[in-house]
Structure 1
Amino acid sequence: MKPFELTYTASGNSLLREALHGWGISKRTLASVKYGGGQILVNGREVTVRHPLETGDAVTVIFPLEEFGKGLQAESGELKIIHEDDALLIVDKPPLQNTIPSREHPNGSLANIVAGHFEDHQIPATLHIATRLDRDTSGLVCIAKNRHIHHMLSLQQQEKKMTRRYDALVHGQVESGKFVITAPIGRKDSSIIEREVRPDGQFAETEVELIHAYPDYSHVQLKLNTGRTHQIRVHLAHISHPLVGDDLYGGKRELMNRQALHCRELQMIHPVTGEALVFESPNREDMAGLIT
Structure 2
Amino acid sequence: MLNETSHNKWKYTLQPEDEGKKYEEILKRRLHFSRHLLQGLKQGERAWVDGRFTFLSTRGHSGETLSLALQAEEVANIEAEPLPLHIVYEDDYLLAVNKPWGQVVHPTPRYPRSTLGNAVAWHWQSQGQEHVFRPIHRIDRNTSGLVLIAKNRFAHQQLAWQLEHGWVQKRYIGFISGQITENSGQIDGPLRLVPGSFILRQVHPQGQKALTFFRVLRRYPAATLLEFDLKTGRTHQIRVHCQSMGHPLLGDDLYGGDTALIGRQALHSFSYSFRHPAYGRILTLRAPWPADLLDLTRALAL
Shorter-chain-normalised TM-score: which range? over 0.9
1:166, 1:262 within 8 Å by CA — same for their partners in 2?
Answer: yes
Q: Which residue pairs with 1:202 in the alignment?
A: 208
How far off its partner does 1:43 sit? 2.2
Q: Which residue pairs with 2:26 in the alignment?
A: 19
Q: Which residue pairs with 2:151 in the alignment?
A: 145
1:40, 1:48 within 8 Å by CA — same for their partners in 2?
Answer: yes
How far off its partner does 1:92 sit? 0.8
Length, aligned pairs only: 289
Q: Which residue pairs with 2:57 in the alignment?
A: 50
Q: Which runs of 4+ in 1 moved over 4 A?
A: none
- Work out the CA distance in 1 between the residues paired with 2:173 and 2:23: 46
Please state whether the residue corresponding to 1:14 is helix, strand or coil.
Answer: coil
- Work out the CA distance in 2 between the residues paired with 1:99 and 1:172: 31
- Work out the CA distance in 2 between the residues paired with 1:67 and 1:255: 45
* Alignment of structure 1 residues 34-113 onto 2, 5 Å: 34-35=42-43, 37=44, 39-63=46-70, 65-70=72-77, 72-113=78-119
- Work out the CA distance in 2 between the residues paired with 1:63 and 1:179: 42
Larger mean CA deviation between 153-162 and 58-67 belongs to 58-67
Please state whether the residue corresponding to 2:38 is helix, strand or coil.
Answer: helix
* Alignment of structure 1 residues 178-257 onto 2, 5 Å: 178-257=184-263
How far off its partner does 1:192 sit? 1.1
Larger mean CA deviation between 3-12 and 259-268 belongs to 3-12
Provide TM-score, normalisation by structure 2: 0.90
1:67, 1:124 within 8 Å by CA — same for their partners in 2?
Answer: yes
Q: 1:267 aligns with which of 254, 266, 273?
A: 273
1:65, 1:125 within 8 Å by CA — same for their partners in 2?
Answer: no
How far off its partner does 1:218 sit? 1.6
How far off its partner does 1:124 sit? 3.6
How far off its partner does 1:145 sit? 0.8
**Are positions 1:162 and 2:157 aligned together?**
no
- Work out the CA distance in 2 between the residues paired with 1:177 and 1:159: 28
Deviations 1:164-186 (A, max 9, x none): 11111111222211010001011
Percent identical residues: 35
Q: Which residue pairs with 1:7 in the alignment?
A: 11
How far off its partner does 1:63 sit? 2.8
Structure 1's unaligned 5+ residue stretches are none
2:42, 2:56 within 8 Å by CA — same for their partners in 1?
Answer: no
Deviations 1:79-112 (A, max 9, x none): 1111111111111111111111223321111111
Q: Which residue pairs with 1:28 in the alignment?
A: 36
- Work out the CA distance in 1 between the residues paired with 2:65 and 2:221: 63
- Work out the CA distance in 2 between the residues paired with 1:265 and 1:33: 33
* Alignment of structure 1 residues 110-125 onto 2, 5 Å: 110-125=116-131
Deviations 1:107-159 (A, max 9, x none): 11111111111222133421110121111111111111111111111121122
Q: 1:50 to 1:93 in 2, by over 3 A?
A: same
Larger mean CA deviation between 221-230 and 166-175 belongs to 166-175
Please state whether the residue corresponding to 1:8 is helix, strand or coil.
Answer: strand
Instruction: Kindly provide the amino acid, as one letter, of the partner of residue 27 in structure 2.
Output: L
Q: Which residue pairs with 2:135 in the alignment?
A: 129
- Work out the CA distance in 2 between the residues paired with 1:38 and 1:218: 57
Q: 1:202 to 1:142 in 2, by over 3 A?
A: same
Please state whether the residue corresponding to 2:37 is helix, strand or coil.
Answer: helix
1:4, 1:65 within 8 Å by CA — same for their partners in 2?
Answer: no
- Work out the CA distance in 2 between the residues paired with 1:5 and 1:189: 49
- What CA RMSD, in Å, does the superposition of the two structures yield over aligned residues? 1.8
Structure 2's unaligned 5+ residue stretches are 1-5
